[in-house]
Amino acid sequence: MMRAEPLFPDHKGTVEGPVLALTAPLSFWGGVDPSTGRIIQVRHPQCGQSIAGTVLALPGTIGSSSSSAVLLELIRLDIAPAALLLAAPDAILLIGCVVGREMGWKPPPAFRLDEAGQARLPAGRITLLADGEIRFP
């Protein structure tokens, strides 16, 4: 059994989606198209893939204080990831989740899962329980 650490302990329910385990850090500002959810960072290994509806495993982020605004726009348009698995919490990115919740939208739950745990994620769909348990076939 795998377990991730919930970063918002008040999150309830389960989330399911296909895993998108990134192999390099991502900048949301300039790296993700806020109108489509596609990775547009041209040198990123997963450039062209959509993060919408995925359980997005991020080994790291490339900082910009505007990352929260990009995530917030994805949340507003209902094309955000289903959940975030962060190797290390990114306060700026997580602000987008907090503001989205305050706006009455449905932000993705965020969990901490180190890079070793991310490397063990299977291809395909997984389910994340509110307590951080990760289930997969």
Which of 27, 64, 65, 68 is the catalytic position?
64
Predicted local distance difference test score (pLDDT) of residue 137: 81
At residue 68, the pLDDT reads: 95
CA–CA gap between residue 89 and residue 107 (Å, rounded): 16
To the query of whether residue 50 is one of the catalytic residues in this protein, the response is no
* pLDDT in the model for residue 39: 98
Residue 97's identity, in one-letter code, is: C
Q: Give the model's pLDDT for residue 1.
A: 82
Instruction: Write down the pLDDT at residue 10.
Output: 83
The predicted pLDDT at position 11 comes to 83
Q: What is the CA radius of gyration of the chain?
A: 13
For position 65, what pLDDT does the model report? Answer: 83
pTM above 0.85, yes or no: yes
Distance CA 107, CA 84 (A): 10
Nearest to 98 by CA among 75, 65, 77, 78: 75
* 10-residue averages of pLDDT along the chain (137 residues): 91 94 95 98 97 97 88 98 96 95 96 96 95 93
